[in-house]
Amino acid sequence: MIWRLALGSLAARALTVGMTILAIALSVALFLGVEKIRTGAKASFADTISGTDLIIGARSGSVQLLLYSVFRIGNATNNMSWQSYQDIAARQEVDWIVPISLGDSHRQFRVMGTTPAFFDRYKFRSGQSLRFQDGGTLDDLFDAVIGADVAKTLGYQIDDPIVVAHGLASFTKHDDQPFRVAGILKKTGTPVDRTVIVSLRAIEAIHVDWQRGAKIQGQSTPADVIRDMPLEPQAVTAALVGVKSRLQVFGLQRTINEYPQEPLLAILPGVALQELWQIVGIAETALIGVSAMVVITALMGMMATIFSSLNERRREMAILRAMGARPRVILGLLVLEAAVMAAVGAILGLALLYLGLLIGQPIVDRAFGLWLPIEAPTLREGWTLLAVVAAGVIVSMIPALRAYRMSVADGMIVRI
């Protein structure tokens, strides 16, 4: 009986009820969407580099080393000598090691010097390898491989020339030794998309006629002569390391951190990523708080809607009372109506969320490199929906109690 009354009452006020349900649905979709983005961003951060056991660089902070070596943010306080790199590479615990040299740029994109092994050893998203969209790897000394964002932003194609600038914000260019685009990588959603990759020898080659950060005036060594030079680097910025056994990771890390020849730092990427996420945790909490306030605002709007409808429904309540309905029936009717609106709004919000994910997943991945997985609703999301329904019931108690106290005489009074 009460269910039929509740559904009939809601149907009679379809427009107002529909707008209230839509407000709740949008707020729930926003709240759950923020949670999806938060977990997706966290997973994307963690998946930026996988399969690498240690990252080695000059001693600084673990987050700083992670930021400039993996995310290309900031600069190294110092470099690691080539001799130290070779000593570590020769250790029996090391299965593979890939050097990274940073410092130069190309039209605001970072230039990274490395070896061809980088294309095989760098993994992302739980073990995916780099793949070429066009062209191939570094065959010539002055070949360059560019990320998907570099190619898209600058409109580069295979065989286009690239002139590297000295430093990150420098107007001095290595225009006497231009590179050639040899390959374009597929989109990865990692900082590799925004990187120009050249060989480690090429970094040395473009600095042959440079000394202490400045070009030697009047000196220009021909490219043919440079190709015949040994071009062994004096230092590298960092190195990615894979060990033969996971049991050896902590021992090797301790050995590198206590390296006697120079101050070095070895970090575990996963641990450093957790530290980085803790730093941005304040913004994460603030975002969740804002979305929660949106849900609360929608529920308060529902309470205001019920309040505003009480005056219009005074006669309805009085007739129900006159027909023998007890006050608790009136109370239950309004609470049930609110529960139905909150439940329908929560379910509709969940449906809007997954519709948005289906449409936005490839767009967000392509634009921001953020992968939002489409998975079955989690237990946490289920509890969130139940909490919304419970909160809807709670906020409806205030107008319901007011209706509970209405008398038959008050309801039958006609106000002019």
pLDDT in tens, 188-247: 888 999 999 999 999 998 888 777 666 777 677 777 888 888 888 999 999 999 999 989
How high is the pLDDT of residue 80? 95
Give dist(CA 113, CA 130) in Å, integer: 16
Q: Are 40 and 58 within one domain?
A: no
Specify whether the backbone of 24 is left (phi greater than 0), alpha (psi in -120 to 50) or beta.
Answer: alpha
In the chain, the largest separation of any two C-alpha atoms, in whole Å, equals 106
How high is the pLDDT of residue 171? 65
Lowest mean pLDDT across 67-71, 122-126, 405-409: 405-409
The pairing of beta strand 214-215 with beta strand 210-211? antiparallel
Give dist(CA 57, CA 79) in Å, integer: 7
pLDDT exceeds cutoff 90 at 118:
yes
| Type of residue numbered 232 | E
Q: Are 248 and 308 within one domain?
A: no
User: Residue 198 is encoded by which pair of tokens?
Assistant: 């050249």
User: φ, ψ for residue 69 (rounded to 5)?
Assistant: -85, -35
Give dist(CA 106, CA 180) in Å, integer: 13
pLDDT exceeds cutoff 70 at 5:
no
Cβ pair 189, 369 in contact under 8 A:
yes
Q: Are 89 and 182 within one domain?
A: yes
Q: Are 291 and 405 within one domain?
A: yes
The strand pairing partners of 101, in sequence order, are: 113
* Count of structural domains, the chain: 2
Task: pLDDT band for 375, please (50, 70, 90 cuts).
Answer: confident
The percentage of residues in the chain with a pLDDT greater than 70, rounded to a whole number, is 84
How high is the pLDDT of residue 411? 47
Q: Are 189 and 117 within one domain?
A: yes
Q: Are 300 and 232 within one domain?
A: no
pLDDT exceeds cutoff 80 at 18:
yes
273-282 pLDDT, tens per residue? 888 877 776 7
Does residue 30 form part of some domain? yes
Q: Pick from 267, 294, 321: which residue ends a domain?
A: 267
How high is the pLDDT of residue 347? 92
Instruction: Provide the whole-model pTM.
Output: 0.73
Q: Are 10 and 151 within one domain?
A: no
Q: Pick from 267, 291, 311: which residue ends a domain?
A: 267
Average pLDDT (410-414) is: 49
pLDDT exceeds cutoff 50 at 270:
yes
Give dist(CA 357, CA 38) in Å, integer: 14
Q: Are 254 and 306 within one domain?
A: no
Does residue 272 form part of some domain? no
Q: What is the DSSP-derived secondary structure letter of residue 94?
A: E
User: CA 325, 329, 334, 336: dihedral to nearest 10 degrees?
Assistant: -130
pLDDT exceeds cutoff 50 at 43:
yes
Q: Are 173 and 303 within one domain?
A: no
Q: Are 176 and 240 within one domain?
A: yes
Give dist(CA 315, CA 1) in Å, integer: 19
Q: What is the mean pLDDT of the chain?
A: 83
pLDDT exceeds cutoff 60 at 408:
no
The percentage of residues in the chain with a pLDDT greater than 90, rounded to a whole number, is 35
The strand pairing partners of 264, in sequence order, are: 58
Task: pLDDT band for 294, please (50, 70, 90 cuts).
Answer: confident
**Owning domain of residue 69:** 54-267
Give dist(CA 316, CA 327) in Å, integer: 13
Q: Are 216 and 114 within one domain?
A: yes
How high is the pLDDT of residue 416? 46
How high is the pLDDT of residue 83? 95
How high is the pLDDT of residue 383? 87
Nearest to 203 by CA among 288, 328, 334, 82: 82
How high is the pLDDT of residue 6? 66
Q: Pick from 245, 267, 289: which residue ends a domain?
A: 267
Does residue 273 form part of some domain? no
Q: Are 133 and 101 within one domain?
A: yes
The pairing of beta strand 179-185 with beta strand 143-146? parallel
Packing angle of the helix pair 379-404, 327-368 (nearest 10 deg): 150
Q: How far is CA 335 from CA 343, 405, 407, in A?
A: 12, 15, 19
How high is the pLDDT of residue 409? 46
Question: How many residues does the structure list for the chain?
Answer: 416
How high is the pLDDT of residue 407? 44
Does residue 274 form part of some domain? no
